[in-house]
């Protein structure tokens, strides 16, 4: 039986760490407090297989917005094919790419990926239901889930000018506008909005097509209001994600288990909610 599904994993393969992460890796290591060492796809799969777990791998494509190499659809597809018993995959397209982005959405669907991952701070572009309408329409057409990173980002943290990244594009209220314009589009709001937690909670409660990923939020310091909502109205639309390799799934799970929540709620957050969404 699957113990947990880690629904927010940035595969720490060389193509990622030596590609889009190059400008930020030193700062990320300082923020995390330890070196981030590249692993092979087989090593990442073994890490989760040893824990009776599965992992949702996220692509990264901010090339036009940032000028850095992407971890695109083909990379994620190759990793999923390497260990289909362990991995789910979300591709990535650059939302500033116009018709090319729409082509990338078709490609992700054709490859059998489950969704798409966007990082508005790195993209330097808030998710817009108007300017990117064809992108969202195409994702909806194919039944792809859309994951959007929100709130504070460790990318550029502590660097002059935050590595030229602004946080505002990642406000959860931007996801609210998208969810309203596309009510049948399944959206995962990642990181609970961080410094805009109230916005993330409000959007998730108000829009039933929005799901909340707990990545980046330790249960040790989890907001009591958020925890009450996990016990109540959001219990079927919230799920675990570690932000690996920038977060540690073992540490998160230990802290979560210390809360003493009912077994059925633990199962929902750790496995059932995200599985139902993906499958």
pLDDT for 136 equals 98
CB 71 within 8 A of CB 11: yes
| Residues 61, 118: Cα–Cα separation, whole Å | 8
pLDDT for 67 equals 62
How is residue 100 annotated by DSSP?
H
**Residue with structure tokens 């889930």?**
145
How far is CA 55 from each of CA 49, 67, 130, 192, 195, rounded to the nearest angstrom?
9, 28, 32, 19, 26
| Residues 64, 47: Cα–Cα separation, whole Å | 33
How is residue 185 annotated by DSSP?
S
| Residues 192, 252: Cα–Cα separation, whole Å | 15
What stretches in the chain show pLDDT beneath 70?
63-68
Alpha helical stretches, state H, 88-217: 99-110, 120-123, 133-141, 172-181, 197-206
CB 85 within 8 A of CB 50: no
R_g of the chain computed on alpha carbons: 17
> Up-side HSE of residue 107: CA atoms within 13 Å toward CB?
15
Cβ count near 67 (within 10 Å): 9
Domains and CATH numbers, the chain: 4-278 (3.20.20.140)
pLDDT for 65 equals 56
**Residue with structure tokens 């393969």?**
13
pLDDT for 68 equals 67
User: Would the pTM of this model clear 0.85, i.e. be above it?
Assistant: yes
Cis amide leading into 245 (omega within 30)? yes
Nearest residue to 277 via CA among 183, 217, 231, 211: 211
| Residues 18, 155: Cα–Cα separation, whole Å | 15
pLDDT digits (tens, 9 = 90+) for 28-71: 898 888 999 999 999 999 999 999 999 999 999 976 555 667 89
Q: Residue 65 has which token pair? A: 């917005």
DSSP string, 43-70: HHHHHHHTTTEEEEEE-B--HHHH----
């Amino acid at each position: 039986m699957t113990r947990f599904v880690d629904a927010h994993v940035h595969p720490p393969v060389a193509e990622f760490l030596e590609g889009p992460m190059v400008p930020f890796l030193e700062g990320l290591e300082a923020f995390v407090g330890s070196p981030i060492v590249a692993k092979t796809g087989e090593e990442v799969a073994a890490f989760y297989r040893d824990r009776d777990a599965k992992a949702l791998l996220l692509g990264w494509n901010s090339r036009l917005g940032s000028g850095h190499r992407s971890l695109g659809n083909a990379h994620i597809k190759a990793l999923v094919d390497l260990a289909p018993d362990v991995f789910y995959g979300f591709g990535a397209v650059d939302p500033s790419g116009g018709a090319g982005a729409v082509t990338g959405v078709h490609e992700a669907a054709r490859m059998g990926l489950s969704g798409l991952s966007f990082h508005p701070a790195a993209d330097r572009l808030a998710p817009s239901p108007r300017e990117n309408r064809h992108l969202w329409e195409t994702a909806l057409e194919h039944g792809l889930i859309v994951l959007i990173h929100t709130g504070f980002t460790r990318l550029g943290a502590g660097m002059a000018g935050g590595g030229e990244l602004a946080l505002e594009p990642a406000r959860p209220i931007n996801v609210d506008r998208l969810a309203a314009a596309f009510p049948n589009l399944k959206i995962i709001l990642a990181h609970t909005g961080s410094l805009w937690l109230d916005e993330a909670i409000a959007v998730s409660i108000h829009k039933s097509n929005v799901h909340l990923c707990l990545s980046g939020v330790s249960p040790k310091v989890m907001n009591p209001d958020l925890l009450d909502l996990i016990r109540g109205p959001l219990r079927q639309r919230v799920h675990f994600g570690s932000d690996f390799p920038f977060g540690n799934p073992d540490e998160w799970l230990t802290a979560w288990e210390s809360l003493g929540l009912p077994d059925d709620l633990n199962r929902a957050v750790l496995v059932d909610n995200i599985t139902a969404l993906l499958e």
